[in-house]
Chain A
Amino acid sequence: MRSLLNPLFAIVLAAALAACSSTPTEDDSSATDNMSQQTDTSPVTPVEPSEPVKPDTSSIPLTADNFYNHPSNYDGTTDSRVIYFAFDSNTVPAAAFETLRAHATYLKNNANAKIRLEGHADERGTREYNVALSERRSKAVEKFLRVQGVASSQLEIVSYGEEKPAAFGHGEMDWAKNRRVEINYLSGRP
């Protein structure tokens, strides 16, 4: 799926990212406050599964936060196994809806299939707190799949926090790649 990013687009993105290179340090209170409020008071409400609409990707601003969440990064099938999250967020990205619906459909049609939702955080902050934050991401994905009608017995959650990074650098792009939930088929892999 990574290959879906066309090289020209990648170059444009890289340039745009370089332009805003001075690492934007998040406004503390607002960011974290926002986050837990969303978690606790407004549960994720996925869009009703109607006919899938290909989103218009042209106007999406180019930031590290949505680099990996660009719709071109999800192929809308069960081949896409990683869902990326914005900084300090556990909101399931709209770009991943179609992919998650594909997984939900597959799971509903294959009762023997079981998945593990593996939550991850970027390296900023303390380790155990990040484990808790990454669990919230997995739970958001779990909730999405449950709303689609997936049985809870087909879902497991494991939270790794910052312990198993996908990228080992220490910049915005690596952090964005590490804020993720990986969908791991334990059985009945498509």
Chain B
Amino acid sequence: MIGVLRMQQTCKRKVWTQISIALMAALWMVNAQAELLIKVTEGRVDAVPIAVVPFDGAQNAPEDVSEIIQADLHRSGQFKPLPAEDMLSRPRNEQEMIYRDFKVLGTEYVITGSMKRQETGGYEVSYALFDVARQKKLMSETYRPPESQLRDVAHAISDRIYEQLTGIPGAFSTKILYVTHNRHDSNPYQLQYADADGHRVTTILRSKEPIMSPTWSPDGRKIAYVSFEDQGRPAIYIHSLATTEREKVSSFSGINGAPDWSPDGQKLALTLSRDGNPEIYMLNLSTKGLTRLTNNYGIDTEPRWLPDGEHLVFTSSRSGGPQIYKLNINDKSVRRVSFQGAYNARSDVTPDGRYLVYVHRRNGNFNVGVQDLQRGTFNIVTRTDMDESPSVAPNGSMVIYGTQHGGTGVLEAVSIDGRVKVELPSKEGEVREPAWSPFL
């Protein structure tokens, strides 16, 4: 039986520039789907106290931009927002700013702003960021988005503030791609994506058969995944998010799995067992030429490109249990990278190439571990069990992964240093295999 597929959602992409910031355009969700609710379970002890004063005019707007900014900053774990009810004054702009009202509360930064409905339909959103200790305005900007893009503007402002205060680009405007499973649904397997804060869920594919290993193209316009929709047999598809056009790029006999895009977007690394054993191959997407990269009697799978485009890391059982290896694509030489414990698999790498994150088994528990390739250190950064599919944010700050709460698959995120933890429980069904988008 062929899995029933339904492309839902046309997703329109417009580039809208204001103050040199390009924003991804609106992805309209008409029917309310299960959104991911986000809860910060562990923040940094030294999180920076910040006050996001409720924006003037936000109460009557369809989206409260100040509330979204506050939630973004809180979710990063780097900031500790001051509850609005604790504020001694609520300035709307620089003129109304009374620094000592925030200084006495220990607040280091203050964000003020306003939302004004425009005659033309959209909104004018202004904000300003203040440094309390130096009693100085650090930045201020104005955006004029249509109503449908208020959330995009809120995330863009969060990105700007985060970068101004930490020196690292914010990743609040990014998206998370994931697989859901609800066995009581007529199409139990679904591929969806949502904003990084769990809002605005879009369903890309529904199927009666499993969907696995979703991954983004480097430009964020396409995704690749494994779907068993064709009579239960696995195939790798490339799916354009804007047009919903799909192309089946790999359907060999045996395993077609674990796709991962090269940094230049020209090639796909993947696992095939067409020659009798799971091996890593490289598929040139324009010529469709296939190059076999590994040749070993063990299992070779789960390839991930390193940022240099010349190397891959992958999981191999060539020395017994699964371990992480690094492969040079040019000379096909292979070097073992992971040495702690007997089970290390499914690695991802930070954008700077410095850290590897992967699933590590210890005392029968599966956790996410971070290996510093420069210093050689290895740390387990989660305390749950059954953790899988870690995926690094494009700014390298957080890792999102699948785990189980009370037997149900949920997503969690943890900072690379393990100090910040965020839960993203879904309201219904299982959520798994998250893939964090590149900067969009």
A residues sitting closer than 8 Å to B (CB atoms) are 23, 25-26, 28-29, 31-33, 36-37, 40, 116, 118, 123-129, 131-133, 135-136, 157-161, 163-164, 168-170
Q: Given A26-B364, A32-B320, A133-B299 in contact, is the A128-B213 Cβ separation under 8 Å?
A: yes
Decide if A25 touches B255 in the complex (CB within 8 Å). Answer: no
| Bound Cα distance A116, B343 (Å) | 30
A-B contact count (CB 8 A): 111
B332-391: which residues lie under 8 A (CB-CB) from chain A? 341-343, 345-346, 359, 361, 363-364, 366, 386, 388-389
The one of A36, A118, A132, A170 that contacts B321, using a Cβ cutoff of 8 Å: A36
Smallest CB separation, A175 vs chain B (Å)? 12
SS class, residues of chain A in contact with chain B: mixed
The residue in chain A whose Cβ has the minimal distance to the Cβ of B363 is A25
Quick one: CB contact mask for B25-60 with A, threshold 8 Å, 1 for yes? Answer: 000000000000000000000000000000000000
Of A28, A128, A157, A160, chain B has the most CB atoms within 10 Å of the CB of A128
Q: Which residues of chain A are within 8 angstroms of B9 by Cβ–Cβ distance?
A: none
Q: Given A33-B320, A37-B320 in contact, is the A163-B301 Cβ separation under 8 Å?
A: no
Decide if A129 touches B301 in the complex (CB within 8 Å). Answer: yes
B258 within 8 A of A: yes
Q: Which residues of chain B are within 8 angstroms of A123 by Cβ–Cβ distance?
A: 386
B13 within 8 A of A: no
The one of B212, B322, B388, B389 that contacts A32, using a Cβ cutoff of 8 Å: B322
Q: Which residues of chain B are within 8 angstroms of A40 by Cβ–Cβ distance?
A: 297-298
The residue in chain A whose Cβ has the minimal distance to the Cβ of B433 is A127
B284 within 8 A of A: no
Of A116, A127, A136, A169, chain B has the most CB atoms within 10 Å of the CB of A127
| Bound Cα distance A125, B366 (Å) | 7
Decide if B299 touches A36 in the complex (CB within 8 Å). Answer: yes
Decide if A124 touches B342 in the complex (CB within 8 Å). Answer: no
The size class of the interface chain B forms with chain A is 35 or more
Decide if A32 touches B228 in the complex (CB within 8 Å). Answer: no
The residue in chain A whose Cβ has the minimal distance to the Cβ of B189 is A163
A-B contact pairs, 27 of them (CB 8 A): A28-B342, A28-B361, A29-B320, A29-B342, A32-B320, A32-B321, A33-B321, A33-B342, A123-B386, A125-B359, A126-B388, A127-B213, A128-B257, A132-B255, A132-B257, A132-B301, A133-B299, A135-B255, A135-B273, A135-B278, A136-B299, A158-B233, A158-B234, A159-B255, A163-B212, A168-B183, A170-B386
Q: Given A28-B361, A129-B299 in contact, is the A135-B254 Cβ separation under 8 Å?
A: yes
Q: Which residues of chain B are within 8 angstroms of A158 by Cβ–Cβ distance?
A: 228, 232-234
Decide if A128 touches B254 in the complex (CB within 8 Å). Answer: no
| Bound Cα distance A124, B302 (Å) | 16
Smallest CB separation, A133 vs chain B (Å)? 7
Q: Given A126-B346, A128-B258 in contact, is the A170-B404 Cβ separation under 8 Å?
A: yes
The one of A26, A129, A160 that contacts B315, using a Cβ cutoff of 8 Å: A129
B112 within 8 A of A: no
